[in-house]
Amino acid sequence: MVMPTRRISTAVLCAFALLPAVPAAAQGPRLPLQPESRVWVDGTSNKNDWTVKATQLSGFVNLQLKRDALQIFAGGFTVAAQSLVSEHGVIMDRLMQGALKSDVHAEIIYELVSASATPGEGGKYAVATQGRVTVAGVTKDVAQTVTAERLGNGQLRFTGSQPLLMSEFGMKPPTAMFGALRTANRVVVNFELIVKP
């Protein structure tokens, strides 16, 4: 019974030896978002401006930071659609969650596809990103420049905003009071994501 075990072990070792060697640190650590990270959406209506904030947010950034060189390999975040709350009470919350079809599509997801960071002054970087955002079950490609900033406590903060049209995601801008309240089609998704390298 010993010989077959040795033969299997040798075969497994040989198979692994044929695989390309990829250093474990080549893609840096997977850093979870810190609790102070936030995502919020700004919009307008014929009555007033409004904001909804995510109360359930999770995500990560996979990066490597050496001296002034910042490399970002992967990242993304997920917001529970029904966790979006506004300053205008439950009616606005229900309108927005209904527009998001949150009963069917429970999550808003952003996935980073590529990123290129250019160092600037004061510990800041301009990060050109390509990504995919999924809202109400519809996925779209998005490109934006994100600001990364090294903080005094050793953390790294990513900030940015992305204008979106609700109609591009199959959403109908919410209305209320028999059409007396009408929200605009254009919204802006803002984020402040913090990780600790």
pLDDT of residue 14: 39
In a domain, 42, yes or no: no
Is the predicted pLDDT of residue 15 greater than 70, yes or no? Answer: no
CATH number of the structural domain spanning residue 146: 2.40.128.110
Asked if 51 contacts 42 with a C-beta cutoff of 8 angstroms, the reply is: yes
Entry pTM: 0.81
In a domain, 57, yes or no: yes
pLDDT of residue 33: 98
SS3 track for 30-71: EEECCCCCEEEEEEEECCCEEEEEECCEEEEEEEEEECCEEE
CA-nearest of 22, 28, 131 to 72 is 28
In a domain, 149, yes or no: yes
Is the predicted pLDDT of residue 10 greater than 90, yes or no? Answer: no
Read off the pLDDT band of 177 (50, 70, 90). Answer: low
Is the predicted pLDDT of residue 17 greater than 70, yes or no? Answer: no
Q: How far apart are CA 81 and CA 58, in angstroms?
A: 12
For residue range 106-165, list pLDDT tens digits in order: 999 999 999 999 999 988 999 999 999 999 999 999 999 999 999 989 999 999 999 999
pLDDT of residue 179: 62
What domain range is 110 assigned to?
Answer: 52-195
Is the predicted pLDDT of residue 20 greater than 60, yes or no? Answer: no
In a domain, 145, yes or no: yes
Based on the structure, what is the number of domains in the chain?
A: 1
Is the predicted pLDDT of residue 13 greater than 90, yes or no? Answer: no
For residue range 48-106, list pLDDT tens digits in order: 888 999 999 999 999 999 888 999 999 999 999 999 998 777 777 888 888 899 999 99
In a domain, 9, yes or no: no
For residue range 166-176, list pLDDT tens digits in order: 999 999 998 87
pLDDT of residue 135: 95
In a domain, 168, yes or no: yes
CA-nearest of 102, 159, 93, 158 to 135 is 102
In a domain, 33, yes or no: no
pLDDT of residue 132: 97
Burial 122-144 (b: 16+ CB within 10 A, else e): eeebebebebebbbbeeeeeeee
In a domain, 98, yes or no: yes
